[in-house]
Amino acid sequence: MSELRAARRERERGRAVRSQRRAGRRRLGALIAVIVLAGLAWFLVALFQPFAGSGHGTVTVSIPHGTGVGKIGDILESHGVVSNGFLFEVRATLAGRRGDLKPGVYDLRRDMSYGAAINALVHGPQRTVIEVTIPEGSSRREIARLVAKDGLRGDYVRATRRSHLLNPKRYGAKHARDLEGFLFPSSYFIRRGSPVKLLVAKQLTAFKRAFPRVKLRAARRVNLTPYDVLTIASLVDREALLPSERRVIASVIYNRLRAHMPLGIDASVRFATRNWTHPLTNAQLHVRSPYNTRVNVGLPPGPIGNPGLAAINAAAHPAKTRYLYYVVKPGTCGRHAFSVDMAHFQRDVARYQSARAANKGRSPTRCRK
């Protein structure tokens, strides 16, 4: 009998355990259901934003041509326009608007709802805001032609003679005649028809933000001022067609300055003669100008353009080389042949001149197929 009672108790314990397990599974299932429902509710609230406002402030955003909806969401999120780029893409997909979002420059608000942002991009960009892109190395006169095409008002060359926003003397430019070198090249959003002074203010402000990031210890060790570095950078920006050669070309300039040799940089002659597009004539190569580095020793009086940050860093930190000469290496997409002695340089020049003659007098910088 005792064995029967023990077996009965064991069966009862088993039923109790199984019952507890079933109850536990029901509680777990209920908890999972609550979590799923809560997650779904959160997702729907985050996606449809029933409590979202119209946003605040203003932020200018550029949507390039050919940008997909996923990338558009990333751009909007990075500018603080929407809180989540992925959810923006989902909303655009659910709304059937993936292919309706238009490229261009927009004045949007921060923390907009997805629906409001989608509607703005479907409607299209405001025509009053334009993107003005200043190429690295461009001179004031070249920039003046660009901004005139962009519809800005005023004389850019006159507006860049001086400004209360920047004093060139603080950078070692004791005799600077204008703001050449300080007009930071970048892309700027500005209303069509704005005065050129507004663009100039943006460029100078951008320069003052960027230039302190440049470390000038190497330049100061050889008694170069910040203005000298800008001058070298402007030469580098014109001479280096490949980013990998910026610091090497800067090293040639440093080495020639150390050796008291003329820099021999034709870009400075082009600046002096305002000839950026046509082959230089013999008369232009011998023009009497302090910017003619073929005949004058040392740096030109100032920058020949407005260098970008990469060129400025290269001018502040040149590579360590013994090169004194360079010339374009034919058929290499603008790569240069560097040399330390005149004999080697003359061989490189002979190859260049032969390729130039075969190219009907044009520089043989095109790549070989």
Whether residue 369 is predicted with pLDDT greater than 50 in this model: the reply is: no
Q: Is residue 343 part of a domain?
A: yes
- The first and second tokens of residue 325, run together, are 């000469």
Question: 48-73, pLDDT tens digit by residue?
Answer: 565 566 678 888 888 988 899 999 99
Whether residue 258 is predicted with pLDDT greater than 90 in this model: the reply is: yes
pLDDT, average across residues 234-251: 96
Same domain for 8 and 118, yes or no, is: no
Q: Is residue 139 part of a domain?
A: no
Question: 142-181, pLDDT tens digit by residue?
Answer: 999 999 988 899 999 999 999 999 999 999 998 999 999 9
Q: What's the total number of domains in the chain? A: 3
Same domain for 273 and 311, yes or no, is: yes
Q: Is residue 137 part of a domain?
A: no
Residues 6+ apart with CB under 8 A from 355: 330, 331, 364
Q: Are 97 and 118 in contact (CB under 8 A)?
A: yes
Q: Is residue 148 part of a domain?
A: no
Three-state SS at 138 = coil
Q: Is residue 64 part of a domain?
A: yes
Q: Is residue 237 part of a domain?
A: yes
Same domain for 103 and 5, yes or no, is: no
Q: Are 288 and 308 in contact (CB under 8 A)?
A: no
Same domain for 222 and 86, yes or no, is: no
Least confident window among 17-26, 100-109, 196-205, 209-218 = 17-26
- The first and second tokens of residue 192, run together, are 């069509």
Please list the residues that pair with 104 across neighbouring strands: 63
Question: 316-358, pLDDT tens digit by residue?
Answer: 999 999 999 999 998 888 899 999 999 999 999 999 889 888 8
In terms of Cβ atoms closer than 10 Å to its own Cβ (0-12, 13-18, 19+), residue 176 is: buried
- Please report the pLDDT score of residue 7 as a whole number: 66
Question: 293-321, pLDDT tens digit by residue?
Answer: 999 999 999 999 999 999 999 999 999 99
Last residue of a domain, one of 96, 123, 150: 123
Query: What's CA 288's distance to the chain center, in Å?
Result: 37
Same domain for 230 and 352, yes or no, is: yes
User: Residue 119 belongs to a domain with what CATH number?
Assistant: 3.30.1490.480
Same domain for 319 and 301, yes or no, is: yes
What's the one-letter identity of residue 77? E
Q: Is residue 200 part of a domain?
A: no
Domain span including residue 44: 1-48
Same domain for 221 and 345, yes or no, is: yes
Same domain for 240 and 266, yes or no, is: yes
- To which residue do tokens 């005139």 refer? 148
- The residue that leads in pLDDT, 91 or 14, is 91
Whether residue 39 is predicted with pLDDT greater than 90 in this model: the reply is: no
- Region label for 278, one of left (φ > 0), alpha (ψ between -120 and 50) or beta (otherwise): beta
Whether residue 11 is predicted with pLDDT greater than 90 in this model: the reply is: no
Residue 262: DSSP 8-state: B
Q: Please name which of 312, 307, 342 lies closest in space to residue 326, comparing C-alpha atoms.
A: 342
Same domain for 69 and 40, yes or no, is: no
Same domain for 250 and 328, yes or no, is: yes
Q: Please name which of 45, 110, 107, 103 lies closest in space to residue 77, comparing C-alpha atoms.
A: 110
Whole-angstrom Cα distance, residue 307 to residue 246? 12
Same domain for 330 and 222, yes or no, is: yes
Q: Please name which of 363, 293, 360, 357 lies closest in space to residue 328, comparing C-alpha atoms.
A: 363
3-state SS of the chain: helix, strand, coil percent to 5? 50, 10, 40
Which pLDDT band holds residue 128 (cuts at 50, 70, 90)? Answer: confident
Same domain for 78 and 42, yes or no, is: no
Q: Is residue 164 part of a domain?
A: no
- The residue that leads in pLDDT, 23 or 283, is 283
Q: Are 110 and 80 in contact (CB under 8 A)?
A: yes
Question: 191-222, pLDDT tens digit by residue?
Answer: 888 999 999 999 999 999 999 999 999 999 99
